[in-house]
Amino acid sequence: MRSMMYLIKFGGSVITEKSNKNAVFKKSVMDKLAESLASAGKEYIIVHGAGSFGHVLAKKHDLNNGFQSDKQRIGFSMTQTKVQQLNTYVLQSLQKQGLPTVSIPPHATISLNNHVENEFQKEIYYKYLSKGFIPVTYGDVVLDKALGFSICSGDLLIESLSESFKPEKVIFVMDEDGLYKENPKMNPNAAFIDHISSEELNSLNTKLDDHADVTGGMQGKIETILQITNHNVDVLLLNGNKPDRLYDALVGNKTKYTLIQR
Residues that bind ligand IPE (CB under 6 A): 11-12, 49-51, 54-55, 58, 79, 83, 139-141, 151, 153-155
Q: From CA 210, how far away is CA 231, in angstroms rounded?
A: 26
- Burial bucket for residue 102 (CB in 10 Å: 0-12, 13-18, 19+): middle
In the bound complex, what is the minimum distance in angstroms from residue 166's beta carbon to ligand IPE?
21
Q: From CA 125, how far away is CA 83, in angstroms rounded?
A: 20
**154 or 167, CB closer to ligand IPE?**
154
**19 or 197, CB closer to ligand IPE?**
19
**153 or 198, CB closer to ligand IPE?**
153
- In a 13 Å sphere around the CA of 137, the CA atoms on its Cβ side amount to 30
Contact 164, 121 (CB under 8 A): no
**175 or 182, CB closer to ligand IPE?**
175
In the bound complex, what is the minimum distance in angstroms from residue 151's beta carbon to ligand IPE?
5
In the bound complex, what is the minimum distance in angstroms from residue 169's beta carbon to ligand IPE?
19
**12 or 197, CB closer to ligand IPE?**
12
- Pairing type for strands 116-120 and 140-144 reads unpaired
**140 or 159, CB closer to ligand IPE?**
140
In the bound complex, what is the minimum distance in angstroms from residue 58's beta carbon to ligand IPE?
4
| Beta carbons within 8 Å of 81's beta carbon, 6+ residues apart | none
Contact 194, 259 (CB under 8 A): yes
In the bound complex, what is the minimum distance in angstroms from residue 140's beta carbon to ligand IPE?
6
Q: Helix, strand, coil: what percent of the chain each, to 5?
A: 40, 25, 35
In the bound complex, what is the minimum distance in angstroms from residue 207's beta carbon to ligand IPE?
26
Using CA atoms, how far residue 170 sits from 95, 135, 229, in Å, is 22, 15, 9
